Amino acid sequence: MLKKWVSSLLGAVVLLAVVLPYAHAEEKESGTIDLTPGARSAILMDVDTGTIIYDKNMDEKLPPASITKVMTMLLIMEALDEGSLQINDKVRTSEYAASMGGSQIFLEPGEEMTVDEMLKGIAMASANDASVAMAEKISGSEEAFVKKMNERARQLGMTNTHFVNSNGLPASDHYTSAHDIAIMSRELMKHEQITKYTGAYQDYLRKDSAKPFWLVNTNKLVRFYEGVDGLKTGYTSEAKFCLSATAKKENFRVVAVVLGEPNTKTRNAEVTKLFDYAFSQYTNHPIVKSGDSLGELKISKGKEHLIPLTAKHQYGILLKRGEVSEGIRHEVQLRTDLKAPVKAGQEIGKIIVYKADQPLKEFPLYSPVNIDKANWWTMMKRTMGHLFFVD
């Protein structure tokens, strides 16, 4: 009887060993090892799925210093996507923006730079003055821009975040968490063109002037770790040394965040350790590649009746190295009950990933454009077409 019981128990253990690895990888791999002993808080996240591979005190509210600028850059990239801002638009520096202390590109009151140049200053030199200048360009004032930052944080589910300014200079009640930083960093990576700025090691501003300004990226890992192309460093005496970094190898991208490190050497070493762990233990299995067709969206009574959909970025799932990807498939489910008007960013469907018949992961899909309601003349022509012609 005992022999039969032991045999059954061993069988159950083997079954669990076969079934659990995938689910564990998709949900959370917290483990017991401390990869970041010097950090007060840390997280390692897969960008495609949002899976947390490693964390340490990830929800503790802490001052983020200049990592705040990840949200500032996100709102800039979204404004560029919406068309309310153009990359070559001129940005005029106010006296208030020029008065910012700390890291800066020494903007003068009244000086103009393009959005492209301001982004270089923010991403590479961590320019506080350029951050405020861009905040004023987008929202009219930094105060209005900060409201937008907090609203976007709420939309993204950043529950342990409150911003007071656009650049991360010390301020009462200005805080976030490693988890929330990873969330906004992941969102920023949907605009992968930002890495043109965050991934550059050096450049110049005012190159053709009498006083060219040499930019050197504050994130030294872009030079010393293969695949690193962002994102943002931070330091104040209260926050200590902080970093939100991203690296990509083949089609696998991760974000690593450390807060409260004692010095830059430890900060960079521990982020390196997080990257090494991710790339040695995990891989990404692409489901949909950027630019792939996702079908056509039908909009009842819309000015445009059919909207072709393409993937703006890659969708993939996280697998442990050596794990079999056989049997993984996906389907696109688009809503069939949509009526105009539809707003850009409105949820319109989802991608469901299966292994055999078991759902593994869902990715929401959003409308890429505003779809206005058709006028009566368009509706009449469409109705007449249906009466006399076969679709």
The pLDDT score that the predictor gives to residue 3 is 41
pLDDT of residue 345: 84
For residues 121 and 130, the answer to whether their CB atoms sit within 8 Å is yes
Could you confirm whether 41 is annotated as catalytic? Answer: no
Q: When comparing pLDDT for 364 and 24, which is higher?
A: 364
pLDDT score at 330: 93
User: Are 146 and 221 a contacting pair, CB within 8 Å?
Assistant: no
Picking from 15-24, 254-263, 382-391, which range would have the lowest pLDDT averaged per residue? 15-24
Which pLDDT does position 382 carry in this prediction? Answer: 56
Q: The tokens 């009574």 sit on which residue?
A: 301
Q: By three-state DSSP, how is residue 351 classified?
A: strand
360 with 354: CB under 8 angstroms?
Answer: yes
The number of angstroms, rounded, from the C-alpha of 282 to the middle of its chain's C-alpha atoms is 20
Q: How confident is the model at residue 269 (pLDDT cuts 50, 70, 90)?
A: very high
Q: How many CB atoms lie within 10 A of CB 297?
A: 23
Instruction: Return the pLDDT at 388.
Output: 53
Name the band, by pLDDT with cuts 50, 70 and 90, for residue 257. Answer: very high
Start-to-end CA span in the chain (Å): 70
381 catalytic residue (yes or no)? no
Beta bridge partners of 354: 329, 359
If you average pLDDT over residues 327-355, what whole number do you get? 90
Q: What is the pLDDT of residues 128-159, one digit of tens each?
A: 999 999 999 999 999 999 999 999 999 999 99
Instruction: Please tell me which residue in 41, 56, 69, 244 is annotated as part of the active site.
Output: 69
- Is the pLDDT confidence value at 6 over 90? no
- Active-site hit among 41, 94, 103, 126: 126
Give me the pLDDT at residue 15, please: 35
What pLDDT sits at residue 303? 76
- Do the first three CATH levels of 25-286 and 289-388 match, i.e. the same topology? no
CATH superfamily for domain 289-388: D-Ala-D-Ala carboxypeptidase, C-terminal domain (2.60.410.10)
Query: Domain-by-domain residue ranges, the chain?
Result: 25-286, 289-388
pLDDT at 156: 97
State the pLDDT confidence band at 32, using cuts at 50, 70 and 90: low
What is the model's pLDDT at position 18?
33
Rounded to two decimals, what is the model's pTM?
0.84
* Residue corresponding to tokens 């910012």: 100
Q: What percent of the chain is modeled with pLDDT above 90?
A: 72
The answer to whether the CB of 90 falls within 8 A of the CB of 113 is: yes
In this predicted structure, the answer to whether residue 242 has a pLDDT above a threshold of 80 is yes
Q: Average per-residue pLDDT in the chain?
A: 89
Across 305-314, average pLDDT: 87
**Is the Cβ–Cβ distance between 219 and 195 less than 8 Å?**
no
10: pLDDT strictly greater than 60: no
According to the model, what pLDDT value does residue 370 have? 86
> Does the annotation mark 94 as catalytic?
no
Q: What pLDDT does 376 receive?
A: 67
pLDDT at 31 over 60: no
Does residue 124 or residue 346 have the better pLDDT? Answer: 124
Q: Report the amino acid identity of residue 4.
A: K
pLDDT above 80: residue 27: no
Residue among 41, 56, 66, 166 flagged as catalytic: 66
Q: How confident is the model at residue 374 (pLDDT cuts 50, 70, 90)?
A: confident
Mean pLDDT for the stretch of residues 233-249: 98
Task: Find the mean pLDDT for residues 210-236.
Answer: 96
What does the pLDDT read at residue 375? 73
Q: Write down the pLDDT at residue 271.
A: 99
Strand partners, 317: 285
Average pLDDT of span 264-272:
98
> Rounded to an integer, what distance in angstroms lies between the CA atom of residue 261 and that of residue 163?
21
What's the rounded mean pLDDT across residues 227-241? 98
pLDDT at 208 over 80: yes
Q: Which CATH class is domain 25-286?
A: alpha beta
325, 318 Cβ separation under 8 angstroms: no
Q: Rounded mean pLDDT of 24-43?
A: 74
State the DSSP string of 82-130.
HTSS-TT-EEEPPHHHHT--SS---PPTT-EEEHHHHHHHHHHH--HHH
Run of H or E including 205: strand 202-205
373's tokens: 């309601």
Q: Average the pLDDT over 323-347 and give the result.
A: 88
Mean pLDDT to the nearest integer, 329-353: 91
Decide: 119 and 73 in contact? Cβ < 8 Å: yes
The answer to whether the peptide bond before residue 20 is cis (omega within 30 degrees of 0) is no
State residue 385's pLDDT score: 56
Could you write out the three-class secondary structure of 208-245?
A: CCCCCEEEECCCCHHHHCCCEEEEEEEEECCCEEEEEE
Q: What is the pLDDT of residue 380?
A: 63
Residues in a beta bridge with 331:
352
